[in-house]
Every structure is written in structure tokens, then in C-alpha cells.
Amino acid sequence: MKKLIIIGLTIIMFFFKNSAMSNNQKSFYDLEIESINGEIIKLKDYRDKVILIVNTASYCGFTKQYEDLQELWDKYKSKGLIVLGVPSDSFNQEKKNQ
């Protein structure tokens, strides 16, 4: 029974796929985001790079991962890797709130 429901929902989704389409002509590189230090990052400046965007929280217990991200960037920056730290502050874990 569950299998039939899943198959039925999948078929229905194909009929409605166009209703969720966006007419927005912007691309990823048209976006601008605020960096971890408050500067505006224009993604178009990194068009020919590999971009890893990292949701950061300065006072989170997992900030040890910054060391791993630094190591990753050090290893691959010569091949075009860019690591961007972008604060979400979803849980009030950014330095400006402390």
C-alpha cells in the first residue's frame, strides 16, 4: 500500500512540476552575502573558482572545525578553492551578540 502511495505521489508531482518554477533570471553569481566579518561578498568575484560556503557560528561548540576548513583551503587554494564563512546567527552564537 505504501509503495502505491509513493508511486502515485511521484506521478502527481510530474504533472505539477511547472507550477513551482521560478521566472527569476538571476544566477548564483548574482548573489551578494554578508561575510563572517560583516563585509559584503559578491559571488561574481569568484566566478572561476570552486566555492565552499560554510554556515558559521563563532561561539558554537563545533568551531574546532575551522581548523579543518583552514587545512582544506591551504591544501586546495592553488586549485581555485574559496571557503566563505557566512554567519547565520540562528542560535545567537556570533561574536557580535556576546
Q: Measuring CA to CA, which residue among 30, 78, 26, 87 is closest to residue 50?
A: 78
Residue 97 has pLDDT above 50, yes or no: no
- Give the mean model confidence (pLDDT) for residues 50-61: 79
- Which pLDDT tens digit goes with each residue over 61-78? 766 777 888 899 999 999
- Which pLDDT tens digit goes with each residue over 4-16? 677 766 666 666 5
* Active-site hit among 7, 60, 73, 95: 60
* Catalytic residue status for 60: yes
Percent of all residues in the chain with a pLDDT value above 70, rounded to a whole number: 66
pTM of the model: 0.61
Which three cell numbers, joined as nine digits, stand for 56? Answer: 558559521
- The dotted CATH code for 24-97 is 3.40.30.10
What pLDDT does 78 receive? 93
Q: Are 62 and 97 in contact (CB under 8 A)?
A: no
Q: Are 64 and 78 in contact (CB under 8 A)?
A: no
Between the CA of residue 3 and those of 10, 71, 96, what are the distances in Å? Answer: 11, 45, 50
